[in-house]
Amino acid sequence: MPSRWAALFALCLGGCGYQPAYSSGARYVVVGGELRSSLFEVGQALLGGVRSELSAAAAESTSGFPRVEVDVVRVDERSIGVRNTAADVPLARGTEIVVVGRARVVDGPGLPASFDTGDMSRAAQFASGSTPGADADARSRAARDAARSLGKALGRAVLGLPEPAEG
């Protein structure tokens, strides 16, 4: 008798018709597109961010189509603030790294993109270190953080979720 109730309960839950509000229910394969940066880690972090958003929505697949092609358009750097040193040579107090990328959804081989996010960007900042090695580590970490944040934003855009612009 208990197994009948369990079967009836499972049957009722399976037929409820639940679907995500913004997603078509498609499952996407995430592939890297153009990487216009010498920082390989930026591309990997960007793909990781897209994959994490798609898997959280149960929308990631491992092969086939449709697929999301992710591009790194550019990585910009600019100094933030200036400090004086003992040698009276100006030195940046910190640096902002901006990663710009885009994602396209391709539904089949040889088909044009059915959806394009357009260029999106995310930024991360870091303070100047006391040594060149510390600066390099902080720069690498900031670039990865900005790329992962951008990847998550691109993943949400592919899913049709609202995503605020970063200005």
DSSP bridge partners of 72: 35, 101
Helix (H) or strand (E) holding 150: helix 132-159
The CATH number given to 24-159 is 3.30.160.150
Residue 99: which pLDDT band, with cuts at 50, 70 and 90?
Answer: very high
SS3 category, 2: helix
Query: Which residue is listed with tokens 């394009």?
Result: 116
Give the Cα separation of 126 and 23 in Å (integer).
Answer: 36
Q: Where are the domains of the chain?
A: 24-159
Q: Assign residue 35 a region (left: φ > 0; alpha: ψ between -120 and 50; beta: otherwise).
A: beta
pLDDT tens profile 111-128: 998 999 999 999 998 887
Tell whether the model's pLDDT for residue 8 goes beyond 70.
no
What is the model's pLDDT at position 105?
93
The answer to pTM > 0.85 is no
Residue whose entry in the numeric block shows the structure tokens 């934003």: 153
pLDDT per position as a tens digit, 57-97: 888 888 888 999 999 999 998 888 776 666 666 666 788 99
